Structure 1
């Protein structure tokens, strides 16, 4: 499995047969240039995870790609004229020989005054390859058998102690940081150090690294 971090929550996952793009949002760049995608998958409706202005151009350039999204998000996208298939928690879709499974169901609490929205974490599996888990905006789902964890480093809904406990609970042997656009370089380095030293994760920094093999 090859993984490219395209900024913030956006990740390109390449298995031996499939090219899957996760969460092409407003804080990410470079995804609009991608071609030969098999699927685009969106964890939830926040703009930093789905850019409704650039998404149609991406899909037009990848006319064979299917757009899957958390159900509330899929409904919103359809209202905006973008065809999207609802991906419910507990369900899975086959994508060019790989399988994308949705887990969880709710976004993490940001504040009691803000209503919670839907969110699905994503497990990407392919025969003979590592299992990737991208949780979107939630630490609520802790699936078993994860080999590579995309770790949200910082968010209005997360505290460092929660991030570390989440990393420990998942127990993946390897991972990489995502959801980091709000951090300064100094803060990012500190959060990443905590994930490695307190979380016990072999976290590889993929920022600007291009495709990296796991």
Structure 2
């Protein structure tokens, strides 16, 4: 399985020539993937999914399903009928077995509504949590870990990584950070993960094999 990181929280996962797109949002270049069999949008915030990005993917890959929680279905209703998923559900499409975990976005502030958020586990290997500290409750081979967000405190991130204990981790959700801030947060990820695992830093467009 080949995992390509685009800007911010967007991933393109490839298996046997088929592609899965996760969180094509406003902080990401237009995602021009062909051969896609599905799109997952973890929550409705525009940095994770926009109508324009999803419409473009559907134009290039007609008829493919879009998976997301109820808030995503409402946000994209004028573009596509989203297949609504939530904690504990699973879907299979092409070579991808998807399981979904969690129900709510991490709290930003008491004045900001908490929206639906459902992380996705791909083929029991790659976990993308969206914007929440989610532990899928099973071993995680590769963890796409957010490193910069209004809701994120680096100490909580470190505790979460220690709990999940992935074999490999790579930072995502970096668009809100300066280069200095990104490097500092990545060092904290290494502090937790690297005694027993590995941290891989991917620039947009770079890939790892999972």
**Same fold by TM (over 0.5)?**
yes
Normalised to the residue count of structure 1, the TM-score between the two structures is 0.91
Q: Between 181-190 and 137-146, report the one with greater CA deviation.
A: 137-146
Task: Tell me the distance in 2 between the aligned counterparts of 1:54 and 1:68.
Answer: 14
Do structure 1's residue 25 and structure 2's residue 21 form an aligned pair?
no
Give the gaps of 5 or more residues in structure 1: none
Task: Tell me the distance in 1 between the aligned counterparts of 2:113 and 2:204.
Answer: 35
Partner SS for 2:35:
coil
Alignment of 1:81-160 (within 5 A): 81-125=79-123, 131-160=125-154
Runs of 4+ off more than 3 Å: 198-201
Deviations 1:147-172 (A, max 9, x none): 00001001101100011111111111
Give the gaps of 5 or more residues in structure 2: none
Task: Tell me the distance in 2 between the aligned counterparts of 1:54 and 1:81.
Answer: 10
Task: Tell me the distance in 2 between the aligned counterparts of 1:62 and 1:185.
Answer: 35
Partner SS for 2:118:
strand
Task: Tell me the distance in 2 between the aligned counterparts of 1:194 and 1:54.
Answer: 32
Do structure 1's residue 212 and structure 2's residue 208 form an aligned pair?
yes
Pair 1:62–1:72, CA change in 2 (3 A): same
Task: Tell me the distance in 1 between the aligned counterparts of 2:111 and 2:142.
Answer: 34
Task: Tell me the distance in 1 between the aligned counterparts of 2:163 and 2:42.
Answer: 21
TM-aligned CA deviation for residue 17 of structure 1: 5.7
User: Number of residues paired by the alignment?
Assistant: 208
Task: Tell me the distance in 2 between the aligned counterparts of 1:134 and 1:147.
Answer: 12
Pair 1:172–1:60, CA change in 2 (3 A): same
Partner SS for 2:52:
coil
Normalised to the residue count of structure 2, the TM-score between the two structures is 0.93
